[in-house]
C-alpha cells in the first residue's frame, strides 16, 4: 500500500509501505475512506517540532474495518467507523470522567494519511455507524475525528451557554469548528477574529455574528468596545502562540472560561497577571471520543456541515501539495481522497 512519510521539514513523500497488520488483540485495521492534513502537522513541516526519525503522518481518519484482533468486541469487519486522533480504552477512570485524551493507556494515532491504518485500542477509540454513510457525508464525518471534535471541546471547556458572548481566537479549521460548536450550543453572540476574507465568510456561515479583523492590542480594544468594556463570557483559543493566548486572556471577562486547544508553542504565563485576570482555563488535547456519538449523529442527520472546512480536496498521492497549500495558507484544510 501507499502512505505518507515526513523525512524533514518541508519534505513529505507518498511512498510504498508495508500494509499494517494486527499487532495486539485490541487492534483494528481500517481501509481509509478519506483522510486529511492537520494544522498540527504543520509544526514539524515548518521545523517548529524536531523530526528525529521518519514520521508516519496522519491522525484524522474514517473508513471501513477490514480486520480486528481477537479481543475487539464493539466493531467488526465491514462496518464504517470514525475514531478520535487520541487512542483510548474508554474504561479507565479518566475516560469515565470524559477525559479520554488523558486515558491511562493513551496513545496518539499515526499513519492515517495512507490507504490502510492500524487503530490500537479499537473498542475504546472507534464508533461505528449503523450503515455505510452517503459519499457526500464523508468529509463531515472525517472532520469529526479531530477538527470538529477539537473545536467542540474548546467550546465545551469554555462553558459556552445559551445566550452567552463568545470570542473565537484563530480562523484555522479548529477555530471555524469552534464557531460551529458555539452556535450549536446556543451562544447569543459569536465574535470571530479573522483577517482572511474566505475564512471570515465561512465563519459567518457557521454562525459568527461579528468579525474582528484587527489583531493584538487593536483587536483587544475592538472587542472590549463591542462588549461595553466587559469582555466575553467564553473564549476559544485555537492557535497556541503567545500572541493568541494574550489576546484570549485580555478579552475574557473576570469569571469567564478560556478553552484552549491550540498546542502551545513558546507560550508562558505571568503568575500575578493570571491571578488578577481572574479567568478559568481548561484545555489540552481534545477528548474527541466523548463527543463522537453526538457529533456523528449531528452529521448523519444533516444538522451540521463541518466538511465544508475542507476547501481543497485532492488525491492522497498528491499529499505533498496538500501540505504546501496549507503551509502557504492557500487552503484552510486539505482533504485527501483515498
Ligand atoms: Zn482510558
Whether pLDDT at 235 is above 90: yes
Superfamily of domain covering 2-148+286-337: Medium-chain alcohol dehydrogenases, catalytic domain (3.90.180.10)
Q: What is the CATH number of domain 150-283?
A: 3.90.180.10
Residue 199 alpha carbon to ligand 1 centre in Å: 36
Single pTM value for the model:
0.96
> pLDDT tens across 95-124, in order?
999 999 999 999 999 999 999 999 999 999
Residue 109 alpha carbon to ligand 1 centre in Å: 15
- When pLDDT is averaged across residues 264-287 and rounded to a whole number, the result is 96
Residue 292 alpha carbon to ligand 1 centre in Å: 15
- When pLDDT is averaged across residues 144-168 and rounded to a whole number, the result is 98
Ion ligand 1 residue ranges (Cβ < 5 Å): 88-89, 92, 95, 103
- When pLDDT is averaged across residues 143-153 and rounded to a whole number, the result is 98
> pLDDT tens across 245-266, in order?
999 999 999 999 999 999 999 9
- When pLDDT is averaged across residues 265-291 and rounded to a whole number, the result is 96
- Give the start-to-end residue ranges of the domains of the chain: 2-148+286-337, 150-283
Residue 106 alpha carbon to ligand 1 centre in Å: 7
Residue 146 alpha carbon to ligand 1 centre in Å: 18
- When pLDDT is averaged across residues 283-298 and rounded to a whole number, the result is 98
| pLDDT confidence of residue 155 | 98
| pLDDT confidence of residue 91 | 98
> What whole-number distance in Å separates Cα of residue 263 and Cα of residue 241?
8
Residue 232 alpha carbon to ligand 1 centre in Å: 33
Residue 88 alpha carbon to ligand 1 centre in Å: 5
> pLDDT tens across 54-71, in order?
999 999 999 999 999 999
| pLDDT confidence of residue 48 | 87
| pLDDT confidence of residue 222 | 98
Residue 257 alpha carbon to ligand 1 centre in Å: 26
- When pLDDT is averaged across residues 194-222 and rounded to a whole number, the result is 96
Residue 336 alpha carbon to ligand 1 centre in Å: 30
Whether pLDDT at 240 is above 90: yes
Amino acid at each position: 500500500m501507499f502512505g505518507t512519510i515526513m523525512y524533514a521539514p518541508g519534505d513529505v513523500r507518498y511512498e510504498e509501505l508495508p500494509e499494517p497488520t494486527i499487532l495486539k488483540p485490541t487492534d483494528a485495521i481500517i481501509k481509509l475512506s478519506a483522510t486529511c492534513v492537520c494544522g498540527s502537522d504543520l509544526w514539524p513541516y515548518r521545523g517548529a517540532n524536531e523530526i528525529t526519525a521518519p514520521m508516519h503522518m496522519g491522525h484524522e481518519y474514517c473508513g471501513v474495518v477490514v480486520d480486528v484482533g481477537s479481543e475487539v468486541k464493539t466493531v467488526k469487519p465491514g462496518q464504517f467507523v470514525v475514531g478520535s486522533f487520541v487512542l483510548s480504552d474508554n474504561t479507565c477512570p479518566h475516560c469515565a470522567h470524559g477525559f479520554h485524551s488523558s486515558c491511562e493507556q493513551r496513545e496518539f494515532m499515526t499513519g492515517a494519511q495512507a490507504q490502510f491504518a492500524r487503530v490500537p485500542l479499537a473498542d475504546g477509540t472507534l464508533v461505528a455507524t449503523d450503515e455505510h454513510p452517503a459519499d457526500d457525508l464523508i468529509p463531515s464525518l472525517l472532520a469529526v475525528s479531530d477538527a470538529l471534535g477539537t473545536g467542540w471541546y474548546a467550546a465545551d471547556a469554555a462553558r459556552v451557554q445559551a445566550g452567552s458572548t463568545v470570542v473565537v481566537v484563530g480562523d484555522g479549521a479548529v477555530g471555524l469548528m469552534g464557531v460551529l460548536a458555539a452556535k450549536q450550543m446556543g451562544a447569543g453572540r459569536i465574535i470571530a477574529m479573522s483577517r482572511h476574507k474566505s475564512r471570515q465568510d465561512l465563519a459567518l456561515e457557521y454562525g459568527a455574528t461579528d468579525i474582528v479583523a484587527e489583531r493584538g492590542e487593536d483587536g483587544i480594544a475592538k472587542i472590549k468596545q463591542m462588549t461595553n468594556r466587559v469582555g466575553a463570557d467564553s473564549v476559544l483559543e485555537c492557535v497556541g502562540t503567545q500572541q493568541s493566548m494574550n489576546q484570549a486572556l485580555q478579552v475574557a471577562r473576570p469569571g469567564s472560561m478560556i478553552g484552549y486547544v491550540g498546542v502551545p508553542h513558546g507560550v508562558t504565563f505571568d503568575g500575578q497577571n493570571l491571578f488578577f485576570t481572574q479567568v478559568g482555563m481548561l484545555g489540552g488535547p481534545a477528548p474527541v471520543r466523548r463527543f463522537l456519538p453526538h457529533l456523528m449523529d449531528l452529521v448523519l442527520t444533516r444538522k451540521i456541515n463541518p466538511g465544508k472546512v475542507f476547501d481543497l480536496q485532492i488525491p492522497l498521492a498528491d499529499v505533498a501539495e496538500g501540505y504546501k497549500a496549507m503551509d502557504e495558507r492557500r487552503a484552510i484544510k486539505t482533504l485527501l481522497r483515498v
